[in-house]
Amino acid sequence: MHVQIFSAVLPAFRSVRARVARYIRLALAAMLLSTGAAAQDNLANPHEGNAGAVRAGRALFETRCAECHGADAKGISGPDLTVIFAAGRSDGRVFQTVRAGIPGSIMPSSAAPDDELWAVVSYLKSLGTVSPVEYATGNANQGREVYIANCARCHRAGRDGGRLGPDLSRITVSRSRAGMTTAIRDPSAAMRVGYRTVAVVTADGRRIRGLKKSEDAFSIQMVDTSERLQGYLKTDLRDLQDESDSLMPPFGPQMLSDSDLENLLRFLTSLHEDNDVP
């Protein structure tokens, strides 16, 4: 009798034991990842503030990285690297990413000497930080009203706004005032990777515009203007076109005065001024 009861509960016991062991392994892995991330963040850049290292890093980047990330580091098949420090990445974290690569992606690891990798990090940081003096003028409270009226539907700023366009919460850390002005006045002039416009015509004749997220020989994935991720087989589409115009309309002086633009930029800067922005 006891043997029968034990035989009946044994599979359940083994199942519970296996799940407990799995949870312990996951918890340990999370602890190790957390510890590793903290260790990466604490790595100091030995070339901090070294103009010569920045120049060397630029030459190394152009030779080894520009094919995927673009000569301006704003991305081709790889992501835009001019915003990584604005996103809160530390020098150490960027160094370790360059060293180890990104598993499951086209980003390989590197066996280059540490000094060379730190030089590349220094160069990228020189692209990704802007002096706060550039955004010292304007009225943040009035700028918030400009944002709500013109930008919030598609762009997030802090905790508010949409997600169709780029997050603006820290954008003024990595984009110069001149670059921001161009992006607002003429958004089609330089569309970033992940925010390029595509239009498809479905089998039933519906024309859908959105942002291209990925594409291969057989399919395309996009986010439509309602922020819905859509995927299509190309054989099921009547038409597929890459468009040169951004989904974002141009905000010329008639739509957005110079003073409103100044206030908007001041508001966006105020979002991160109290944080420890690198």
Domains of the chain with CATH codes: 51-127 (1.10.760.10), 132-190+249-270 (1.10.760.10), 197-242 (2.30.30.100)
pLDDT tens string 194-223? 889 999 999 999 999 999 999 999 999 999
Q: Above 70 in pLDDT, residue 6? A: no
pLDDT tens by residue, 84-106: 876 677 889 999 999 999 888 88
**The tokens 């739509």 sit on which residue?**
255
The full 3-state SS of 126-153, as one line of letters, equals HHCCCCHHHHCCCCHHHHHHHHHHHCCC
Angle at 118 between CA 116 and CA 123, to 5 degrees: 95
* pLDDT per position as a tens digit, 128-187: 667 778 898 999 999 999 999 999 999 999 889 999 999 998 888 878 888 899 999 999
Q: What is residue 86's predicted lDDT score, i.e. its pLDDT?
A: 67
Q: What is the pLDDT of residue 51?
A: 87
Q: Which residues pair with 267 in a beta bridge?
A: none
Q: How many CB atoms lie within 10 A of CB 102?
A: 13
Torsion of CA 245, 248, 251, 252, to 10 degrees: 0
